Structure 1
Amino acid sequence: MLDTATSHSEKRDFIRMRIDTPVTLVHEGNVIAAVCLDLSSSGMQVKAPQPFQVGDRLEVRLESDHPSLEGLHATAEVVWIAAQADGQHTFGLRILAMR
């Protein structure tokens, strides 16, 4: 049975995990506190107080609270951005490299 009401975000090639956790973004030497809304093997959706441009490259740091798990440190590229009514900005990041 085909569900035509399925949204585009649910038709992705990669499963996304909703995580709502703090992340640190570094852009051109500026450190920005943000929230990672969801994460997949190839990207993430982030909410931050400042806008970025499509094509901007960011360093992303998602630290782990668990001593046996490493955090995620990645270079990512902004692929879309949307202003929110609360003055925040949500944007999609494509992970280019992980360290």
Structure 2
Amino acid sequence: MTSTPTDYSEKRDFIRMQVDAGVSLIHAGQVVAAICLDLSSSGMQIQSPRQFKVGDNLEVHIDSEHPALTGLQASTEVVWIADQPRGQQKLGLRIIRLI
């Protein structure tokens, strides 16, 4: 019996779905337009044009393009940050609860 190496992304506890959808991030009363890159049952990865800090709480809204489906609204916490060019960031968000 042989085993093939498993890619790290396949070792996750939760399957991530590639999304590439526009989202609204709400922080301290300000709304920031961003992009959701991927989504799982426990979190999401966001491309943000604005700087945030680990520990920031963000409300996330993803509208549905399908009339039969409601969008996603969640309270989240920033758990990791990767700085990007031009002052942008990739954010790892943990879903605290669905709204």
TM-score normalised per structure 1: 0.92
Match of 2:16 in 1: 16
Unaligned runs of 5+ in 2: none
CA distance, structure 1, for counterparts of residue 39 and residue 5 of structure 2: 24
Could you say which residue in structure 2 is the equivalent of 1:42?
42
Name the counterpart of 1:28: 28
Percent identity, aligned pairs only, is 58
Query: 2:51·2:87 contact (CA, 8 Å) conserved in 1?
Result: no
Shift of 1:85: 2.4
Moved over 6 A (4+): none
Question: Contact 2:34 / 2:49 at 8 angstroms: preserved in 1?
Answer: yes
* CA RMSD of superposed structures (Å): 1.2
Larger radius of gyration: 2
Q: Does 1:93 align with 2:89?
A: no
CA shift at 1:12, angstroms? 1.1
Contact kept? 1:51, 1:81, Cα under 8 Å: no
List gaps (5 residues or longer) in structure 1.
none
Note if contact 1:55-1:78 (Cα within 8 Å) is conserved in structure 2: yes
* Letter of the structure 1 residue corresponding to residue 23 of structure 2: V
TM-score (norm 2): 0.92
Partner of 2:63: 63
